[in-house]
Structure 1
Amino acid sequence: MIKVRTAFTLLFGVIIISLIITTMVFLKLLDNRKGFGRMQFTKHAKLQLSHQIAEKNNDLSYLFSQYLLTQEADWKNQYQQLKNEPSEALADYQKYHLKDTVFRLAESEIQLLQLAQEKDNYLRQLEADVFKEKSPTSAIERFSDNEEEYQIARKQLLHHLEDFDDLIENESTNKWNKSSEEGYFYFYVSLSLLLSILLFSCISFILIQKRVKQQEQLDLQLQENIKEIKATKNELEKSDERFQLAIKGSKALIWDFDTQQKKIKWFPKGKDFLEYDAEELGTDLQFLKDHIHKDDVSLFDKEIKEHKETRNPIAFDARFYSKNKELRWLRCQGLPVFDENTKALNRIVGTFVDITDELKAEEKIVNAVLETEDKERSRIARDIHDSLQQTMSTALLHLEKVRHHQPELNSEEHFQLGYSLLKKSIKESRSLAHNLMPKVVEENGIVPALQSLITAMKGSTDTQISFFENIGEERLKLSYEISIYRIVQESINNMMKHSKASECTIQLMKYPDLLVLTIEDNGVGFDTSKTDQSFGINSLKTRASAIGAYLQVSSNLGKGTEIFLELAL
């Protein structure tokens, strides 16, 4: 059922639209009457045009005939004077011939006037030839020779003008009939609209009467609605209380920065921040700048500046000093709030969360990784002392014997043995040197370190190793770079020892919030279900979990091996 307000809106809308349409119809009717008047005026002007042409032609023909009959020069002078006078008919013709004039002629009308004008010019030419004769006798003879053509031309001129008048009359009659039909149509339409407006006005009056009678019922309904609103308000207050309790129980502190007044409001009320009581908290950005670590001030300014330029959300971690001068790590996040009409930035609302404990836990993991690396370096140092140095010393002794050319020894045999041991020593020294590469990682970054590692490995294996990356010179966290380097290093060593692969592809790709490492080879593969206790695979997973990354090893016999690592940034 249609509501009363909707009914009123529809009825008054119909009435207003009907009034607008009625006004437009009346304007059309008025324009129709104006057009009818213009048509009559145009008809008169066009007929006057043909009459002026005919009248001037008759006058000139009369003066010409009088000259032939009397041979008096006065008639010739009057002829010349009338001929040379500006022709109103010709001027009107030129005016009506223009397409932008109010009384413009149709193409058929223009053609008839042009034919009449041509005949008129022809008659004037014949008359001019007669006037050129010097004697009266020769003039009469000249006219006699062209009299038949002269009369035919006059008849054709009058015939064209008559056709022009008939055309004007027919056209005027057709336009009059059409104008009358349109006038009656607009009249009846306007009358129908007025009756419709009257009908809808009566219906509106009846509905208004009913609406007044229903007002008491609406008042009662309003009172019931007020009760429901109060109940809803109470529920919202309880919901707000639950929200306040949830915020108080968490580590988050909500901040609301007004960009117009440059003031900060803190929520929930009464909660402390950096060991400051709610009453001690500052209400401007300077309060935050006064407590941020000096090395993180530039980061803070950069985030605020970038937010003003791009209006992207704010997100950064920085160190702040508490009231007791204790250094705490805080994670700041914020979202812009824009005006719906002007699209201007009104507020920035976000949270401060203390992440000091989380970072300390991460530091413990990094320290454990670094401690493991120190142990690894110690082991490699022992290997160098126990293995590499002994091998190179033995090689040196054999080569020394060759150098002194002791005749009692087989020099060739000692030389070949020393040479092979020296090659083995160089190969071992290269492998051991690259086991100490994290120093290169720390100094140059993960990409140059991996490129150096792969270049060195190419001299020790026939496997074609390809490396692709999109990081360039960008640096990651040192703990991330060292762990990724170790994972790639160990994976390549395992591939060289066991896979018998001819190709190996390494990809290190960085996305806005994700780092992805993949290592694929086309080797013999292995059964992953039988390697759960494998020291190598478990070592890779341990290194990945130390930095919070996800690692998966996929392999099938005869189909190669794929190592996939995903790290959230």
Structure 2
Amino acid sequence: MGSSTIYEKEIVAIILYTSCFFMIMALFLIVFFYFSRKKIIQKEIEKRDLEIFHQKEQLHAVIITQEEERKRIAQDLHDDISSKLNIVSLNSYLLTSPNLSTAEIKEITDNIINLTAKALDNSRKIAHNLLPPVLDKFGLHAGIEELCDEFESSKSVKVFYQNKIEFDQKDRDRDLHIFRILQELMNNSLRHGKASEINIVFDNDNGIKTCFYKDNGIGFNSNDAQNQKGLGMKNINSRISFINGTINLSSKINKGIEVFFTF
């Protein structure tokens, strides 16, 4: 009887110890998974907050760019178009003056015709900058060709453009973003980079459409983050995000600039 009781007590003790062990292990696992899940959730929240912050930065850059563009257009309209139309109005009023000679009437009329033609030409340029007609009518390839011709017409830069892909003209929003990216890059190459040559190549890399851009300008240190925080680069990065692309920029002093982006 004594040995049987001792044996039973040992069995009970083993069961109790085993149960306690599994309970402790279960508690440990619960605590471990709780804190692991909490950490994962925290990481997801941080990632989401970072994405929201990035989106806000992009939106801010776009808004600033739009405001700058509006100011530029308003300035062009005020300084150029409005001033010319004011002179046209004054000349038109002069035509109502009595006793004007034939020569005076001809001079005033010629002034009105000349100023009106200039105002019309400048208004077309402003409209062209907002949305190039050739881009809207004939697509991105034709739009880029015209853009290259416009830059070459300045006689200060030579542009080499090569296209190895087909652009879908149905995706006009994407095409406009790509056009504006190139326009921004080319303006920077000419104004800041003092480049005399620009190369643009569109290609297809395993189903991914790419663009390689290069100039021979004075360049800058692309490893310095401050050099890539200008309004122009913010605008480019925002547009790259809108077309679900990626971008890589590299440059060295006196080595020009190279830009590779996908879309």
Letter in 1 for 2:77: H
User: Is 1:561 paired with 2:250?
Assistant: no
What whole-Å deviation, never above 9, does each CA across 1:225-266 have from its counterpart, x for those lacking one? Answer: xxxxxxxxxxxxxxxxxxxxxxxxxxxxxxxxxxxxxxxxxx
Q: Residue 53 of structure 2 aligns with which residue? A: none
SS state at 1:531 partner: helix
User: Is 1:538 paired with 2:230?
Assistant: no
Q: Determine the C-alpha separation between the residues in 1 that align with 2:252 and 2:210.
A: 22
Preserved CA contact (<8 Å) 1:499 1:524: yes
Structure with bigger RCO (C-alpha 8 Å, 6+ apart): 2
Counting only pairs closer than 5 Å after superposition, residues 286-301 of structure 1 correspond to structure 2 as none
Letter in 2 for 1:382: A
What whole-Å deviation, never above 9, does each CA across 1:77-97 have from its counterpart, x for those lacking one? Answer: xxxxxxxxxxxxxxxxxxxxx
What whole-Å deviation, never above 9, does each CA across 1:2-58 have from its counterpart, x for those lacking one? Answer: xxxxxxxxxxxxxxxxxxxxxxxxxxxxxxxxxxxxxxxxxxxxxxxxxxxxxxxxx
User: Is 1:385 paired with 2:48?
Assistant: no
Letter in 2 for 1:493: N
Counting only pairs closer than 5 Å after superposition, residues 10-21 of structure 1 correspond to structure 2 as none
Indicate which of 138, 144, 160 corresponds to 1:450. 144
Q: Residue 147 of structure 1 aligns with which residue? A: none
Preserved CA contact (<8 Å) 1:447 1:471: no
Preserved CA contact (<8 Å) 1:391 1:425: no
Fraction of identical pairs, as percent: 24
**RMSD, aligned CA:** 4.0
Indicate which of 487, 501, 513 corresponds to 2:195. 501
1:483 positional shift: 1.1
1:476 positional shift: 6.2
Indicate which of 236, 246, 253 corresponds to 1:550. 246
Q: Determine the C-alpha separation between the residues in 2 that align with 1:461 and 1:431.
A: 19
Indicate which of 164, 179, 189 corresponds to 1:485. 179
User: Is 1:441 paired with 2:132?
Assistant: no
Q: Determine the C-alpha separation between the residues in 2 that align with 1:491 and 1:550.
A: 15
What whole-Å deviation, never above 9, does each CA across 1:245-290 have from its counterpart, x for those lacking one? Answer: xxxxxxxxxxxxxxxxxxxxxxxxxxxxxxxxxxxxxxxxxxxxxx
User: Is 1:467 paired with 2:178?
Assistant: no
Segments of structure 1 that go 5 or more residues without pairing to the other structure are 1-367, 406-414
In our comparison, the structure showing a higher alpha carbon Rg is 1
Preserved CA contact (<8 Å) 1:450 1:485: yes
Q: Residue 235 of structure 1 aligns with which residue? A: none
Q: Determine the C-alpha separation between the residues in 2 that align with 1:566 and 1:472.
A: 14
User: Is 1:526 paired with 2:220?
Assistant: yes
SS state at 1:435 partner: helix
Q: Determine the C-alpha separation between the residues in 2 that align with 1:490 and 1:542.
A: 12
Preserved CA contact (<8 Å) 1:427 1:460: no
Aligned length: 184
Preserved CA contact (<8 Å) 1:504 1:521: yes
Preserved CA contact (<8 Å) 2:151 2:157: no
Give the alignment's TM-score, normalised by structure 2: 0.56
What whole-Å deviation, never above 9, does each CA across 1:124-162 have from its counterpart, x for those lacking one? Answer: xxxxxxxxxxxxxxxxxxxxxxxxxxxxxxxxxxxxxxx
Letter in 2 for 1:486: R
Q: Structure 1 residues 442 and 519 mapped into 2: Cα distance closer, same or farther (>3 Å)? A: same
Give the alignment's TM-score, normalised by structure 1: 0.28
Preserved CA contact (<8 Å) 2:81 2:122: no
Letter in 1 for 2:150: A
Preserved CA contact (<8 Å) 1:434 1:453: no
Counting only pairs closer than 5 Å after superposition, residues 400-415 of structure 1 correspond to structure 2 as 404=104
What whole-Å deviation, never above 9, does each CA across 1:198-245 have from its counterpart, x for those lacking one? Answer: xxxxxxxxxxxxxxxxxxxxxxxxxxxxxxxxxxxxxxxxxxxxxxxx
Counting only pairs closer than 5 Å after superposition, residues 4-43 of structure 1 correspond to structure 2 as none
What whole-Å deviation, never above 9, does each CA across 1:540-559 have from its counterpart, x for those lacking one? Answer: 11110112111122111111
Q: Structure 1 residues 431 and 394 mapped into 2: Cα distance closer, same or farther (>3 Å)? A: same
